[in-house]
Amino acid sequence: MILWTIQTEEAWSELQIGGMLHVTRENITESNWIHPYEWIIDQMKMRLGPQPKPECFPIWAWYQWENESRRKPDLRVAGHLSKGQKGVRIEFECCDEAALLSDFDLWHYVLNYWYLPESEAEGEEFELELKQYGLSFFDTKPLPNPKFHDRIVKSWNRIFDLSWFEEDLVLPLPRKSIQATLWEISIDQVRNYTHFKSR
């Protein structure tokens, strides 16, 4: 498959000089993302196999940036990196077994510790059930009750079902933003690259 990753100039230099790009915990700029990252790491271990190095964190890439007709990230759009930061959009080839694809919009349920329901009705039922115990996943993260916590975490597995469509909740496949996580990128995989300054 063809993927695109947005990296800093420093990461691009590391890939060019060392021939391989890895990411570590130190590269994570948002401390509140550590727990969601640890969850996706566990998923990658189960679905892709272990890290090549114990300290490896996921490299993020795009399979389908905006939808199936706009797969490559548009560098004219703001937010790829910090404003004014120099970066590189790297296009590379990756075998299917080396990348874990997931729904980018649904990934926000993991980032925010939200329950990902099968339907809006099912989501409302779960929230009412929590309310009976004086709990809300919006207010308490993580929930102290292991049974409810486990249900929330288990619900996140739905982000990997790219064929899943639920009106008013989940976009159909052609309209999805689809991200990829992988352990490493080799310079030999690179097909193209574009330098840019983030807006």
Beta partners for 185?
21
Share of the chain above pLDDT 70, in %: 100
Position 112 scores a pLDDT of 96
3-state secondary structure of 167: coil
pLDDT at position 150, please? 97
Indicate the residue type of 87: G
User: What is the rounded distance in angstroms from the CA atom of residue 114 to the CA atom of residue 110?
Assistant: 6
pLDDT at 114 over 90: yes
98 token code pair = 């080396």
Strand partners, 196: 87
pLDDT, residue 83, reads: 95
Which fold does the domain 2-104+172-197 belong to in CATH? ADP-ribosylation fold (3.20.170)
pLDDT in tens, 151-188: 999 999 999 999 999 988 999 999 999 999 999 999 99
* β-pairing verdict for 178-182 and 59-64: antiparallel
For residues 27-31, average pLDDT: 72
- Domain parsing of the chain, residue ranges: 2-104+172-197, 114-158
